[in-house]
Structure 1
């Protein structure tokens, strides 16, 4: 498999242009909605990497969280967000590479980005999240606890693998089977809450 071709900017934008987005559930996922609903500090600086249509960003925005940044390779996906949420600041919709971001955030939300990148980049992802988070910042979200695919995204993984990547950098407060996954992912997801150390 040629990762450079298959997982390029053009690859992902074509998927959105052609509605080949089987991972897109059309709304915020239940686990992230449940987590967001208990947040009280609407001033948090939040990043959603590889957000695609970013229903999480839309939900946050409509619930008073105005410091939300989305980064994605797909111009089409970013346009979709802007069309749904016209007052979402264009400066907070970044067309670019997550690994090239230079900023600082209190919270990074993980939703189907980690499983979409080349698995060879997973340690780099953990390092980059650590770099982007403020002291005491958090990485929260979902990781697949399933083998899935080897040749194309979504790429699966397991709790022991993830612990290897993240434990040297974070306090792994939660990495447990998700109790409120959507039906198609039930029993196949881990909910994570990692605190920057």
Structure 2
């Protein structure tokens, strides 16, 4: 690595264009090795996640739970494509055992640096709960090898947070993305996938990443994991209201406009375009 550089969207697109199909994730490794200042990396967690953890605790549950024997344990939270790990550190500050996954070894090192240099910024939210353990791991989201490395089984995560990950992936990987969430998420109602939907306001025909990501796209893919979803010639997902959701799919249990979000999720005069959705396994 030659040192951090400020990467513009066109720079990112040029690099990723060299990595097609299953090699797409290798493009992100190349980007981190080229320079780790991504244009949508704000250096701190999105306030919409913080508000969700506070205001929607009744939906997602708290960081501490009890097993069948009445023994308390910390619930596990995963952030795939965690970037610098800021969301992982926030989840740990709320008391979750938080795991950050990145494909790039350089990104994992950036996460560890963030933890070491800014640990005081992520204050413990509840002293009676304390801070959860933080684990950063290098691996491919679609592979099980990293799960074995950290000792977490399939369907072992109580909370998964997806932000700037769905929109960072090539749209061709979206069916696999949705299927993988069903494999990682704990059974309902314990397991909750939190999606901060972004960028909803981007022209559907615009290049990515970040790729335009409508709420309808999240709905169709998560309701039909592993299945090809049709988009029209304008890049808009074809939503069929008569199409039944897959029994193996996820069900949206909450959906709202957050009160706060990063500026990149806002339009003119601060109008918030981002949405937050929470999903659970149907079975």
Normalization by structure 2: what TM-score?
A: 0.61
Shift of 1:50: 0.5
The separation in 2 between residues aligned to 1:30 and 1:117, in whole angstroms, is 23
Q: Deviations over 1:46-102 (max 9, x none)?
A: 11000110101112223332x211111121221122123259978x32211111135
Cα distance in 2 for residues equivalent to 1:113 and 1:22: 14
Return the alpha-carbon distance in structure 2 between the equivalents of residues 173 and 195 of structure 1.
7
Structure 2: tracts of 5 or more residues without a match: 1-16, 65-73, 120-131, 148-152, 224-244, 267-271
Residue number among 133, 146, 151 corresponding to 2:201 in the alignment: 146
Match in the other structure for 1:81: 111
TM-superposed deviation, 1:33: 1.1
Higher share of residues assigned strand: 1
- How many residue pairs match? The answer is 195
Counterpart Cα distance in 2 of 1:56 and 1:81: 10
The correspondence for 1:41, drawn from 63, 78, 100, is 63
- After TM superposition, the structure 1 = structure 2 runs for residues 1-197 of structure 1, keeping only pairs within 5 Å, are 1-4=17-20, 7-15=24-32, 17-38=34-55, 39=57, 40-42=62-64, 43-65=74-96, 67-86=97-116, 92-101=135-144, 102=147, 103=153, 104-136=156-188, 137-144=191-198, 145-148=200-203, 150-167=206-223, 168=245, 169-186=249-266, 187-197=272-282
Residues 29 and 103 of structure 2 are in contact (CA less than 8 Å); yes or no, is this contact kept in structure 1? yes
CA RMSD of aligned residues (A): 2.6
Q: Using a 3 Å threshold, how does the CA distance of structure 1 residues 46 and 13 change in structure 2: closer, same or farther?
A: farther
TM-score normalized by the length of structure 1: 0.85
Stretches of structure 1 that go unaligned for 5 or more consecutive residues are none
Deviation at 1:27, TM superposition (A): 0.3
| Greater RCO, 1 or 2 (C-alpha within 8 Å, sep 6+) | 1
What SS does structure 2 have at the residue aligned with 1:129? Answer: helix
Aligned counterparts of 2:195 and 2:166: Cα–Cα separation in 1 = 10
Q: 1:157 to 1:47 in 2, by over 3 A?
A: same
The structural deviation recorded for 1:10 is: 4.8
